[in-house]
Amino acid sequence: MWIYINSTNTSILLFLVSLLGMFLNQKNILVMLMSLEMMFLSVSFNLIFASIYLDDIVGQIFSLLILTVAAAESSIGLAILVIYYRIRNVIVVELMHLMKG
Amino acid sequence: MYLLILWLPLVGSILTGFLGRFLGHKGSGIISVVCVCLSMFLSFVAFYEVGLMGLTHCILVSSWIEVGILKISWSFLFDSLTVTMLVVITVISSLVHLYSLEYMQNDPHLPRFMSFLEIFTFFMLILVTADNLVQMFVGWEGVGLASYLLINFWFTRLAANQSAIKALVVNRIGDFGLSLGILAVFFTFQSVDYFTIFSLSPLMSDYYLDFGGFKILALTLIGIFLFIGAVGKSAQLGLHTWLPDAMEGPTPVSALIHAATMVTAGVFLLIRFSPLLEFSSTVLNILVIFGSLTAFFASMSGIFQNDLKRVIAYSTCSQLGYMVFACGLSCYNVSMFHLANHAFFKALLFLSAGSVIHALANEQDMRRMGSLIKVLPLTYALMLIGSLALTGFPFLTGFYSKDFILELTQITLNNNVGSTQGVFACWLGNLSVFFTAFYSFRLIYLTFVNSVNATRTMILKSHEPSILMLIPLILLGIGSIFIGYIGKDLFIGLGTDFWKSSIFSLPSSAYFIEAEWLYIQLKWLPFILSTLGIVLATLINITKTHVYLYNTLYRNICFLVNKKWYWDVIYNRFFVYPLLNFGYLVTFKNLDRGFIELAGPYGFSKVIPIWSRLFSQLQTGQLSHYLFFIVLGICLFFLIIFKQIHLLIFYSVLIFFI
């Protein structure tokens, strides 16, 4: 049992949890953004672990870049969210179906 | 000269058909009559040369189809059988042409009528002079076509259209049988030439064919197919329904087609194939049974018909039954003799009926006639001659052929057909003599003798036709009296060599000598029966006896017989309407417009919008659903990259769910 709890599995588990958090969430867009952040986190965690495991600096550089990208992304995302809330007064994910086919 | 017999009617037909507008009534009439009369005189010469002098001709004109071993040429055979038919056809045809000059004089389409009559004559001549089956089939189909055109001559009448279509379609059933017969002949003999077939048929008498899993004698199969053809054309029981309905055409057409020539084509076919039919006793038995049933049924139906022409049509049908069972009894020459005689007195009857109808301003119902003996004495005399000849009155034409056929049925000892069938033919044939006499004289009484039922103006206006119509009538009357006596020794005399090799019957089945030595009582039987029929008709019509007959049973029987035993109703109920319904509901609505359309353009145009709506409904607008598809797409991508085999299963599952 304990041998399965290593860094790779933890990061993959984290990734899947965040994916499920996106799938199953029908209400709150903030939770969606949070799980997106968690996805970034799991990916950068995995990269860091790989760079240690392979003894290669590139992974850590990439994770640093992901951090900045994630920060920028979440700021832009939150900005869009705020604008959206200002226009429609609602941020329930279910009701965001203006582009319905 | 021989080919001129054929081409003259064709030339006349083309001239009157295409140039009728310029020739006018008189011109087209003269041209057509001259052409056919020349053809008649030439065929007399041909009869003299071929029949009496014994010079059989076969004229090869040109090759027609040569594919592999199938070699068909246009060649014309003139033997005794052919020239007899030639004389019958051209004589009746010329008299009918002459007759219709006056009968149709007020019709605006006389040139067309003449053209059709002549094209009919031409095709009939092609039919009888052919020396192979395919060329014969040309004539066979040609007379069917010409009969369609002629029955439908007054094309504005609905009844004429219907009966013409009926005649053509019912004939086509028989034609299908005949074409199957031609194929079977070619399969068996590898040739369609008469000479080859007839020379080889003794050899082929024990050659079996596989037909639908059954082993069947090749000659029996061919004979049955040919008989189906004859059933259609000669209106035997089963496909006889077209003949009485074909009376919608003008009367000369009925006289030409449905009395003298076209309906005899089936009998001619059977007589022509005598060398082949002789070797199959099964076919001969079928001929006897069907022929005698036709004779009986048609004569029975004739007795209570009220239409003047329909009575005569039924009598034609019944006489054709006689001819067919005479063929079945292997007396082809007697059958041919009856055919020739019948042509004369039946044409006489029809043309006299036409004279009556002409005099009464197209009134055909016998119940609205009567007492015409004072107005139309000559027509009465001629009709009486025709009727007496039809009933086989001694020393008239019908006596020599019809009574001989009946005598032949009395011999049941050394038949080549089963003795049961012989007795069957004997009983039915003799009974139909009684009915024949009854309806012939019922017709005479209702039309000429009984007190008058027509309107006063009609009777006042009616008059004997002019000389142009009387000449053919009188000539046919003379023929009806004398032809039988003149032709007796030539056609069916003891040991006559007139037929040479054109008719063949096995020596074991030649028993006409026995027919000459029957008991005198049996020989008197047909005459007694026909006298009985005449007496009964007299009793019912001119005495008060009919009072006793008018009870419910008699009325019901009358009604049943008058409705032709509901034969047409049964056919319509069980064959025609189910077939039409099948055609409309199953093959048209369910198959053509249903299944095939559904699998084709209509189905596609229906399915594609549904699918596209489904696909567009995948875009729900929900973010999580889009995410699901993105992830699904990535998974799919990885599947394609790494596990190619699972791809197919994945796709099929996907399509199934969609």
So what's the ipTM on this one?
0.85
Backbone angles phi, psi at B229, to 5 degrees: -60, -45
Query: Residue B61 is inside which H or E element, if any?
Result: strand B57-67
Least Cα separation, residue B626 to chain A (angstroms): 9
Q: Which residue has the tokens 């995948």?
A: B618
Residue of A23, A24, A97 with shortest CB distance to B620: A97
pTM metric for this prediction: 0.83
A26 to chain B, any CB pair closer than 8 A? The answer is yes
* B519 band by pLDDT with thresholds 50, 70 and 90: confident
Distance CA A46, CA B602 (A): 57
Contacts of A26 in chain B (CB under 8 A): 622, 624
Residues B249 and B309: their CA atoms lie apart, in Å, by 10
pLDDT in tens, B324-358: 989 988 889 999 999 999 999 999 999 999 999 88
Residues 564-623 of B with CB under 8 A from A: 616-623
- Which residues does B53 contact at the CB level (< 8 Å), separation at least 6? none
In chain A, the residue whose alpha carbon lies closest to the alpha carbon of B625 is: A23
Residue B658: predicted pLDDT: 45
Q: What is the token pair recorded at B200?
A: 């080889």
Q: How many CB pairs under 8 A join A and B?
A: 33
Q: Whose structure tokens read 């189909």?
A: B141
pLDDT in the model for residue B206: 84
Give the residue on B whose Cα is nearest the Cα of A25.
B624
pLDDT for B651: 60
Go through chain B and tell me how many residues it has: 658
Paired strand residues for B66: B71
Cβ distance A97 to B622 less than 8 Å, yes or no, reads: yes
Tally Cβ neighbours within 10 Å of residue A60: 15
What is the three-class DSSP state of B658? coil
Is the Cβ of A101 closer than 8 Å to some Cβ of chain B?
yes
Give the residue with greater pLDDT, B260 vs B174.
Answer: B174
Token couple for B599: 């699998």
- What residues of B are in contact with residue A94 (Cβ under 8 Å)? 622
The Cα B390–Cα B472 span in angstroms is 18
CA gap B392, B533 in Å, rounded: 12
The residue written with tokens 């107005």 in the block is: B375
Would the CA dihedral through B185, B190, B191, B195 be positive or negative?
negative
Nearest residue to B256 via CA among B191, B348, B381, B165: B348
Judged against a pLDDT cut of 80, whether residue B64 lies above it is answered with yes
**3 state DSSP class of A81:** helix
Rg (CA), chain B: 31
CA-CA-CA-CA torsion sign (B329, B332, B337, B343): positive
**A24 touches B: beta carbon within 8 Å:** yes
Q: Which residues of B35-49 are buried (b: 16+ CB within 10 A; e: fewer)?
A: bbbbbbebbbebbeb
Distance set, CA A46 to CA A1, A11, A20, A23, B79 (Å):
21, 6, 18, 22, 111
- Picking from A25, A33, A81, A99 by the largest number of B CB atoms within 10 A of its own CB, the best residue to mutate is A99
Biggest alpha carbon–alpha carbon distance for chain B: 114
Q: What distance in Å separates the CA atoms of residue A32 and residue A10, rounded to the nearest whole number?
A: 20
| Alpha-carbon span A94 to A25, nearest angstrom | 9
Q: Does A22 touch chain B (CB under 8 A)?
A: yes
Which residues, 6+ apart, have CB-to-CB distance to B430 below 8 Å?
Answer: B406, B409, B525, B526, B529
Q: What's the pLDDT tens digit per position in B191-228?
A: 999 999 999 988 888 888 887 788 888 899 999 999 99
Distance (Å, rounded) from C-alpha B225 to C-alpha A36?
88
| Residue in B79, B98, B147 with CA at minimum distance from that of residue B119 | B147
CA–CA separation, B33 and B100 (whole Å): 10
Q: Which domains does chain A have, with CATH numbers?
A: 1-88 (1.10.287.3510)
Residue in chain B nearest A23 by alpha carbon: B624
Three-state SS for B270-283 is: HHHCHHHHCCCHHH
B502, B79 Cβ separation under 8 angstroms? yes
Over 80: is that where the pLDDT of B606 sits?
A: yes
Residue B517 Cα distances to B457, B512, B523, angstroms: 57, 9, 9
Q: Predicted confidence band at B632 (pLDDT cuts at 50, 70, 90)?
A: confident
Give the distance from residue B654's alpha carbon to the nearest chain A alpha carbon, in angstroms: 20
Looking at residue A96, its pLDDT comes to 79
Under-50 pLDDT residues of chain A? none
Residue B517: the pLDDT is: 81
CB contacts of B624 in chain A (<8 Å) are 22-26, 93
Is B349 in contact with B387 (CB distance < 8 Å)? Answer: yes
How much of chain B, in percent, has pLDDT values that exceed 90? Answer: 44
Strands (E), chain A: none
Q: Which of B270, B234, B229 is nearest to B81 (CA)?
A: B270
